[in-house]
Amino acid sequence: MAGYNTTIREKAEDYFDYMVQTRRYLHKNPEVSFKEYDTTEYIIHELKKLNIDVEQPLETGCIGIIEGKPSDKVIALRADIDALAMDEEGDAKKEFFSERPGAAHCCGHDAHMANLLGVARILTDMQQEIEGKVLLIFQPGEEKLPGGGRLLTESGFLQKQGVKEIYGLHMSPAIEPGKIAVKSGSFMARPDEFEIEIIGKGGHAASPHQTVDPVVLAAEAITKFQTIVSRSLDPTEPAVVTVGRVRAGSTYNVIPGSAELIGTVRTFSKDTADLIKQRMEQILKGIAEGAGAAYSFQFNEGYPAVVNDENCTDKLVAAAANVIGEANIIRMERPLMAGEDFAFYQQVFPGAFFFLGSGSDEADSKWSWHHPRYNIDEKAFLTGASIMAGLVLDR
């Protein structure tokens, strides 16, 4: 066993420079959700250089298929490929900054792709050791509803391929390279979104008695929303209600006719999300009727919660222990309230998702996801590629 896994680690080291160069190329050429055309073409080119068969169930993204020895074992490994609609900052990335204004890989998906392409090289080198089939999923649109994971599972392609297990990872700036974090069961939250318009009656700021001020009503709604989690839910049930944007008015001395609120609700069950939705509507109705205003309320259901299968989590931990040792595996006590469309795969197949350490002072890579200075310590590839390949090849 030791010699076998040493081979995997050595191959990850052999392909380390390739993964770094690949990540930097992709970082310079980001594309936002469901518009990853050049990215898809690049990935297909890299897979075909290895004589890997490629399928495209969706318009963007692709799936590489590696056939091993005859077996009903079919494992899928997933990387997301889309960038965020934002601009980036940070001296640590200057030499490979995004060359496309308004798009940046500030969530690590460039690294996810590079890591999985490194895994592809390891697996093709050791193809005679593979039992069954491996699917390398390069998935579009993780950052945008309805989510590429949902569209891919709904296409039926993975089911036809006979997938038995699926694994994925996400770079984590909170963990140092050489470590991972994982948890069986609830792992990441269900991220729903809401849009609200409160419709009042505008007028002169000096005559509020002749208006129905939607700004005041919006403030009241925001405050009361914060009581939903503390007073309407079981205290042991994790949940978050956050208003992320408030938009109203245009100048100092005018009370506007309406105010807009958008935000997110994070939960781990549909029942809890439905209860929060119900309470939000009740609050809005009471405030509007009490003031003679009107409102519109739209609640957009997002991704399900990421729930790690116990058996798959055990296999992941075993593969990681062979690479980095038990001491470098962080067992998370609590789930994270961020969301991930990897959850759609887990609605259909047993699977496990984990965080790969990528944060260091040396690489200036401790900035949070979606921060303009977000970066990764590329040493993470040595761990990530080895673990992913090990999930396929370990005995």
% of the chain with per-residue pLDDT over 70: 98
Structure confidence at residue 188 (pLDDT): 97
Q: Which residues contact 156 (CB under 8 A, 6 or more apart)?
A: none
Which of 142, 176, 309, 378 is the catalytic position? 142
Structure confidence at residue 394 (pLDDT): 77
pLDDT of residue 167 exceeding 80, the answer is yes
- What residue ranges of the chain are covered by domains with CATH 3.40.630.10? 2-189+305-393
Q: Regarding beta strands 131-139 and 306-308, do their DSSP bridges make them parallel or antiparallel, or are they unpaired?
A: unpaired
Prediction pTM value: 0.92
Note the pLDDT tens digit of each residue in 94-104.
999 999 999 99
Phi first, then psi: what are they for 366, rounded to 5°?
-100, 5
pLDDT of residue 6 exceeding 90, the answer is no
Class of the CATH-defined domain 2-189+305-393 = alpha beta
* Three-point CA angle 23, 27, 33, nearest 5°: 115
Note the pLDDT tens digit of each residue in 11-70.
999 999 999 999 999 999 999 999 999 999 999 999 999 999 999 999 999 999 999 999
pLDDT of residue 4 exceeding 80, the answer is no
Three-class DSSP category at 364: coil
Which of 82, 340, 341, 377 is the catalytic position? 82
pLDDT of residue 138 exceeding 80, the answer is yes
Three-class DSSP category at 115: helix
Let me know if 99 is a catalytic residue: no
- What residue ranges of the chain are covered by domains with CATH 3.30.70.360? 190-300
Mean pLDDT on 134-141: 98
Which of these CATH numbers, 1.10.10.10, 3.40.50.300, 3.40.50.460, 3.30.70.360, describes 190-300? Answer: 3.30.70.360
Let me know if 55 is a catalytic residue: no
Structure confidence at residue 1 (pLDDT): 46
